[in-house]
Amino acid sequence: MSENNVNTGLFPVNYFIQPKVAGQPLLGAPVMNLRLLVNAPEKTISGVSHVFQATSKPVNVVSNVHGTWSFMATMSSTHILLVAEGQGPSSILVHGVPQMVENLRIRASLEQDWQSGICNYDYLYKGEWHQVEGAQMSIEDFDQNAVLDQLQTALQV
């Protein structure tokens, strides 16, 4: 993704977000896959996320994500700020249909090329909010058509 993409329209990005210590993955920590469709002219993002943890106390949180992005400039650098919230189905039923509740809050600072960054996020799991700070974001290779199909399905919900 280049600065030219930011002015042209829509583009998909897929991030793998994982806490690291001294450059090494923090074993047992929750990780997130974040698949977004960036609307550059409107400065909005939407997509899906999956927070999971495979160790004891397994975590599995899926969210429809919506938010905004903006440039964040200092005297020495420019980054991209992502601010988003996610909603997922709850155990609350209305006429037999699960109701959507907020279950994810994301704040991320990306490099200007959208390739990497740092993410802080909170996720709701079994009625409790959990916080992950300073997780490393990196672009994950993906099948663009499959991701676009998933994003289109998520946006219709």
pLDDT for residue 124: 95
Q: Which residue has the higher pLDDT, 22 or 16?
A: 16
Contact indicator for 133, 118 with CB cutoff of 8 Å? no
* Structural domains present in the chain: 3-156 (2.40.160)
Confidence bin at 109 (pLDDT 50/70/90): very high
pLDDT score of 150 more than 80: no
pLDDT for residue 157: 53
Contact indicator for 106, 86 with CB cutoff of 8 Å? yes
Amino acid identity, residue 126? K
pLDDT for residue 145: 66
Q: Model's pTM, two decimal places?
A: 0.82
The two most distant CA atoms of the chain are separated, in Å, by 55
H/E element, 36: strand 31-39
DSSP state of 27: T
What is the pLDDT averaged over residues 108-126? 95
In this predicted model, what pLDDT tens digit does every residue of 62-102 receive, in sequence order? 999 999 999 998 888 899 999 999 999 888 888 888 889 99
H/E element, 129: strand 128-139
Confidence bin at 2 (pLDDT 50/70/90): very low
Q: Which residue has the higher pLDDT, 118 or 77?
A: 118
The pLDDT > 90 percentage for the chain reads: 61
